[in-house]
Structure 1
Amino acid sequence: MRLVCLMAGSSSRLLPLTTSQHKTCLMLEKRRILDYQLESFERAGIESKTFVLGHGATQVAQILFESLAGTHFTISYNPEFRSRNLDWSAWLALSQNSGPVIYYEGDLLIPPSLLKQVKNSPAEICIAVDSESKNPSIDTLVIAPDGKVKHLLFIEHGTAESQPGDGAIGEFICFVKLGEAARKFVVDALSVLTFKGEMQLYRIFEQAFSRFTTEYVDADGRPWIEVDNPSDLQRASPLAEEILAS
């Protein structure tokens, strides 16, 4: 199964650390975020990978060529990462090849066991949820009344709050397994967008939930982190080795 990893953004909330480099090149104690991510992919049995690069692309590409020599991966350069939203990077990656795929947002560091569990799901769509999240600022909640995934409550750069009876089951961990039919549906929906303003990808995922078999996997206490700001970066350093071991 192919994994598509979006790594084009400029990570403005981590300035000045990201002035000239992508945040995946930042150090977590002894290793870079990207080093941990690549090891997680390997341990999860991901054999084919596509990386969408933009800000800091030269440095990231060099690391990829050194670390992934002899393996199957491709790089897609997105020169419009400042003028177009995340939907454009998603379209670039998801439209490249047919077949099932894992959509993966490049600021994530997740346990190989969780990635493997989502990858091996028999459902057409599988997402990951943290029902025990301690994240002080959850931007996306999974709404699943009666256990059926229906809605992603997304507040960009804000906090999504559950309401009584809404069926919220936990925080959305931003990677999704898509079978071929679901991948094609998402690509077709993305292809008609303007790629301006707020991203529409999560809305498209919601549409797909109602059309295809969808299940979720709970992190169930396993550590993970999305590195989005200085506080996340500080928390990630002592967690990185634990995440890889989970």
Structure 2
Amino acid sequence: MQAVILSAGIGSRLLPLTREIPKCLVEVGGRSILDHQLAALHAAGVERAVIVGGYRYRQIGAHLAQARPPLPVRLVFNPFWAVASSIGSVWMARDQLDAPFCLLNGDTVFAADLLAAALAAPGEGVGLLVERLGEAEPDDMLVTVANGGICAVAKDLALDVATHRSLGVIVSHGGDAYAQALERVIARPDGIDAFHHAVVAELAGYAPVRAIVAGEGAWQEIDRPADIAAWTGRGG
């Protein structure tokens, strides 16, 4: 199992923290988001990681050289980070998507036990890590789950059909289904503007996609300065 971490964006909602550093190097509880992620992935049994950088990506490389992460890491540059959505970063790592992988956004901190349970969840093919929806937040990626499978994924999904929110983690046990769906989505006229969840939505239209419901373990998306305090306040 390898990880693909999407860390190319500028993180404008975290300004001024991201004026001089990429979002993944913002510190949360005394450690960068990236260091939190690599430690959790290693503890969860992931063997190596590919980090897709864009904005100030050379700083990510310098950080990795100094930090000595606990698992082998390869940094890939996404030169289209300023003109494409997150699907562009997935495309830059497409040669990794036939083997077993977990893909995650570079702005979310996870407890290792939550990731380990997601990777060990039973089932074949592609899965999306979700949690049951309580009160929806404006930036939530909403999901409809039925009979253990993903039916729909979108930020503008109607609240009367949304049952869960996505944690942004995709798990695949291998095969080319996800990569083929990625190519179909990004090849459309507006494909580069799609969030990477559009690949899951595409695949769910014609093949089973597992809903991996998050169990125990904290997680926190770091979108705004207040989110940093929310994670440290939970003892993470």
* Common topology (TM > 0.5): yes
Change in 2 beyond 3 A, CA 1:195/1:229: farther
Indicate which of 162, 168, 171 corresponds to 2:165. 171
Q: TM-score, normalised by structure 1?
A: 0.83
- Give yes or no for contact 2:5–2:52 (8 Å, CA) kept in 1: yes
Contact 1:84 1:195 in 2 (8 A): no
Report the equivalent of 1:142.
143
1:117-196 to structure 2, matched below 5 A, reads: 117-121=117-121, 122-131=123-132, 133=134, 136-155=137-156, 162-163=159-160, 166=161, 168-178=162-172, 179-193=174-188
How far apart are residue 30 of structure 1 and its match? 2.2
Pick closer, same or farther for the CA change 1:83–1:112 going to 2, 3 Å: same
TM-score by length of 2: 0.86
How many residues are aligned here? 234
Per-residue deviation, 1:72: 2.6
Instruction: State whether residues 108 and 224 of structure 1, in contact with CA within 8 Å, keep that contact through their aligned partners in structure 2.
Output: yes
Instruction: Evaluate the alpha carbon distance shift between residue 194 and residue 84 of structure 1 in structure 2; reply closer, same or farther with a 3 A threshold.
Output: farther
Matches within 5 A, 1:78-117: 78-96=78-96, 98-117=98-117
Identity %: 22
SS of match in other structure, 1:5: strand
Look up the match of 1:219: 214
What is the root-mean-square deviation of aligned Cα atoms in Å?
2.5
The gaps in structure 1 that reach 5 residues or longer are none
The answer on 1:234 being equivalent to 2:235 is no
2:129, 2:211 within 8 Å by CA — same for their partners in 1? yes
8 Å Cα contact 1:11-1:22 kept in structure 2? yes
Contact 2:39 2:69 in 1 (8 A): no
How many angstroms apart in 1 are the aligned matches of 2:43 and 2:13?
Answer: 30
Unaligned 5+ segments in structure 2 are none
Question: Conserved in 2, the CA contact under 8 Å of 1:125 and 1:212?
Answer: no
Cα distance, 1:17 vs structure 2:
1.1
Q: Distance in 1 between matches of 2:113 and 2:54?
A: 29
Alignment of 1:206 onto 2:201: yes
- Give the match for residue 12 of structure 1: 12
SS of alignment partner, residue 203 of structure 2: helix
C-alpha separation in 1, matches of 2:132 and 2:7: 26
Compare 90-99 and 14-23 and name the one that shifted more.
90-99
Q: Say which SS state the counterpart of residue 65 (structure 1) adopts.
A: helix
Decide whether the 8 Å contact of 1:129 with 1:169 is kept in 2.
no
Q: How much does 1:8 deviate? A: 0.6
Which stretch shows the higher mean deviation, 110-119 or 187-196? 187-196
Contact kept in structure 1, 2:186 and 2:192, CA below 8 Å:
no
The C-alpha deviation readout for 1:10-37, integer Å capped at 9, x for no partner, is 1111111101101221222322222211
Deviation at 1:96, TM superposition (A): 4.2
